Amino acid sequence: MIVNWYRHLVLAVSLGILISLAISYYSFYDSALSLGEILVNPQFVKNTFFSFVLSLLIYASNVLMSLVVSGALNKRERKTGVVLSQRLRNTLYFFSGIITSIVTYYLFLGLLLQLFFNLPFADFWQGNHFRLGNFLGVVLVSVFILLLVFAFAYHDQLRILELKNKEMEITLQKNQIERMKEQLSPHFLFNNLNVLISTIQEDAVKAEQFARSFSKIYRYVLERLDATSSTLADELKFSQDYVYLLNVRYDNAINFHLAEEVYEYSNVLIPTLSLQLLLENVVKHNSIPSEGKISIALCIVDGGLKVWNEKYTKPKQEYTSELGLKNLSSRCQVLMQQEIRIEETAREFSVIIPLPQNEKG
């Protein structure tokens, strides 16, 4: 539970002043004194200070009780693994606040009456402080204060949630930009330039097509440096150019298949360069077969875009932190409020990117 102590202090003092002035003025309402005479009356000042201290003590008790309840609920959740809904939490805070207000009101009222007015406890318990009207007044004031506190707390929660979402989005954008810059690394550039040079010597027409696809890829990356998402149609065009480069480099060792139903989701937004990341992972974590081809397929499964590939496990697997997939999953969580799903067997590997169903077409 996040406590805004400054907010509580301002609220406690403000409510204490208003309540104490209202109660003290009510006690002098039937007197013949004018407003100015009431404000300077020693008894009025004493009563006001008395009510102000009582209000502060009750408010402080509610804050402490809220912290205790919050700590107990958090401990229970950690122990049982069952997370309580925010509505149930607020209900518990509300009723514990009313009970705390009632108990602390009578407890501190008795103590302060003895301190300010030398009223013995025995006389206090036998007095008329426990009348139904007095009790209902305490309950109504408690409900009003609690509703006010809940309104401020709810506003604070919304602000904190908004700030966290913005921080997450900024972090993901930075990660995405860094990821895109990696695609323009000298290693990637030199590999493709070497392929281009060797292709020129073998087949000028093929080399021209390679250069065109190569330039499209770089143009796409540069244009999307500040974009968190792209349409599936744009990503598919990019992936086809990217697969073409890979096939030229690996002598047509990749069989890339696009299911027809994928085009029905052309206008759907997905994280930028997500397909490139998944295609790159296929090449990175699999051996390119000397005979035959490694198959990669894109299809729609359960409302998501499934990128599937058959596995040709390398004899010696390199260490992988899976940061690329984790980053992609986080970006999907921000964009579609869903994470990616990974399915893996001994012979197959697939990643399912969630797609918003209401944007189909």
3-state class (DSSP) for residue 287: coil
Q: What does the mean pLDDT of the chain come to?
A: 80
- Supply the pLDDT for residue 343: 93
In the predicted structure, residue 217 carries a pLDDT above the cut 60: yes
Alpha helices per DSSP H over 81-203:
86-117, 121-126, 132-183, 186-202
The amino acid present at 27, given as its one-letter code, is S
Q: Please count the CA atoms within 13 angstroms of the CA of 117 that sit on its side-chain side.
A: 16
In the predicted structure, residue 180 carries a pLDDT above the cut 60: no
- Supply the pLDDT for residue 259: 94
| Dist CA 203 CA 188 (whole Å) | 22
In the predicted structure, residue 69 carries a pLDDT above the cut 80: yes
**Residues 198-214 pLDDT 10s:** 888 788 888 888 888 88
In the predicted structure, residue 14 carries a pLDDT above the cut 70: yes
| Dist CA 121 CA 110 (whole Å) | 6
256: CB partners within 8 A, 6+ apart:
239, 240, 243, 247, 296, 297
In the predicted structure, residue 11 carries a pLDDT above the cut 90: no
- Supply the pLDDT for residue 142: 75
CB contact at 8 A, 353 and 305? yes
Helix-, strand-, coil-residue percentages of the chain, each rounded to 5: 70, 10, 20
**Residues 297-343 pLDDT 10s:** 999 998 899 999 999 877 766 556 567 788 888 888 878 888 999 99
Full set of structural domains in the chain with CATH: 5-173 (no CATH), 185-359 (3.30.565.10)
Q: What length is written for the chain?
A: 361
Q: Across 153-290, where does the E strand assignment appear?
A: 229-231, 254-258, 269-271
CB contact at 8 A, 296 and 256? yes
Q: What is the DSSP-derived secondary structure letter of residue 265?
A: G
- Supply the pLDDT for residue 179: 61
CB atoms closer than 10 angstroms to residue 310: 16
